[in-house]
Structure 1
Amino acid sequence: MKRSLASVSALLFTLALLAGCAGRAPAPESQMRGQWSDQQSRLEAMNNWQLTGKVGLRTPEDSVSANLDWWQSPTYYRLLLSGPFGSGRSTLEGNDQGVTLITSEGRFQADTPEALMEEQLGWSLPVSALDYWVRGLPTPDASYQRETDAKGYPLYLQQQGWEIAYRDWVAAGDVWLPRRLVMSQKGLRATLVVNQWRLEPDDE
């Protein structure tokens, strides 16, 4: 049985973790960034953090948006989405035992987020790569192409058939992290707008 657009969008958001508007010029403070090479190793080691923001998805048929709260640690992650798409809130939780998705339609489990998406939607996104892409990094287990600015910060990243455009950056602790990024592939466009990054003491 096909799901409604609202419930499919809620599930897609929970698994894809991406959001809403693009095209503005970078904020003036982002021009104060140091060199990418000075912080790259810290970003690679950063595995204990939280972010809050807005997510949105645009397809040829429709567009929807939601609020996002994402908790990430070395052994556990949790994503909470809430917004105006009708189904209230959706939660995705994962650890080394598997992944659980809780929505208004029930509780679903699988070994990986990709498998869960394939099971519920019939197709999948590279969900496991998003932990890297949201930090401005390519996932280490796949080839990629990258275009950078004069300071070495990614402008565009192409990996696993996706193009990720980094629109703006924000300071968090002693590193600069993406504030706005846009992912696109074959008619699907998704943008993440981060309102706040929180780094745990080990990462700051």
Structure 2
Amino acid sequence: MMYRLTSLLALSLILAACSTQPQGPIVPPPQSVSVIKEWETSGRVGIRTPDDAISGNFNWHHTPTTFSLNIVGPFGQGATKLSQNKDNTVTLTYEDKTITGQDPSQLLFKELGWDFPVQQVTYWIRGLASPNTIANIELDDEQRLKSIKQDGWLVNYSRFTDVDGLELPQKIQVSKPPFKVNLIINQWTIQ
């Protein structure tokens, strides 16, 4: 009887150990923010335009060739989805409408009146200046990133978080009057 109980316990432990083993190869974390190839963020967003103020939750998944940005208002209302596939086709879905185009920023402005520089924000959200244009970078007294001025936009950073040994923004304000976007990032996943 004791032998059966011991064998059953050992088998249970082996099965439990097997079920917790990682599936597939383990990808080491990036060594610097600039080499992050794929990332996902989620949190809260506030958008102010000349005619409106919108708040909600967001989830943004970005790869080298695609992205998907979802914004959902309080209680699941006012869902907006902006995505780009591998063929560079951009799709905007909102209020039971689906519109396609080639430039995410132009599509947002034309359809929703939101001035939001999507291509630059993919860098700014990681605490980097876009490499395509000149930027003025300001550091605080502790040599941490304080702000980026680029393409007529001011990006202020007020809080950072440690993600796999890298310091990534947690609280950001992107503004170009009369437009303003506040992001509070609750979660980062990076590769």
Q: Pick from 90, 95, 112: which aligns with 1:104?
A: 95
Match of 1:147 in 2: 138
Q: Pick from 124, 129, 146: which aligns with 2:120?
A: 129
What do the CA deviations read for 1:129-174 (whole angstroms, capped 9, x no partner)? 1100000000000001111124432101100000010000001111
Stretch moving more, 154-163 or 93-102: 93-102
Between structure 1 and structure 2, the one with the greater Rg is 2
Match of 1:116 in 2: 107
Equivalent residues in 2 for 1:24-43, closer than 5 Å: 42-43=32-33
Amino acid at match of 2:65: T
Are 1:136 and 1:178, in contact at CA under 8 Å, matched by a contact in 2? Answer: yes
TM-score (norm 2): 0.76
Change (3 A) 1:184 1:42: same
TM-score (norm 1): 0.71
Q: Pick from 78, 84, 88: which aligns with 1:88?
A: 78
Distance across 2 between alignment mates of 1:57 and 1:88: 13
What SS does the corresponding residue of 1:152 show, helix, strand or coil? coil
Question: Aligned-pair RMSD on alpha carbons?
Answer: 2.2
Are 1:64 and 1:85, in contact at CA under 8 Å, matched by a contact in 2? Answer: no
Are 1:57 and 1:65, in contact at CA under 8 Å, matched by a contact in 2? Answer: yes
Stretch moving more, 62-71 or 158-167: 62-71
Distance across 2 between alignment mates of 1:138 and 1:41: 18
Q: Pick from 63, 68, 91: which aligns with 1:73?
A: 63
Please state if 1:51 is matched with 2:41: yes
Distance across 2 between alignment mates of 1:131 and 1:101: 17
Distance across 2 between alignment mates of 1:180 and 1:160: 21
Stretch moving more, 118-127 or 149-158: 118-127
Change (3 A) 1:197 1:184: same
Match of 2:54 in 1: 64
Distance across 2 between alignment mates of 1:85 and 1:163: 31
Report how many aligned residue pairs link the two structures: 161
Match of 1:29 in 2: none
What SS does the corresponding residue of 1:75 show, helix, strand or coil? coil
Amino acid at match of 2:66: Y
Are 2:105 and 2:115, in contact at CA under 8 Å, matched by a contact in 1? Answer: yes
Q: Pick from 162, 183, 204: which aligns with 2:153?
A: 162
Pairwise CA distance, 1:118: 4.2
Match of 1:173 in 2: 164
Distance across 2 between alignment mates of 1:118 and 1:171: 34
Distance across 2 between alignment mates of 1:100 and 1:46: 24
Amino acid at match of 1:82: V
What do the CA deviations read for 1:52-106 (whole angstroms, capped 9, x no partner)? 1000023454422010011111121111111139853121110342100111231
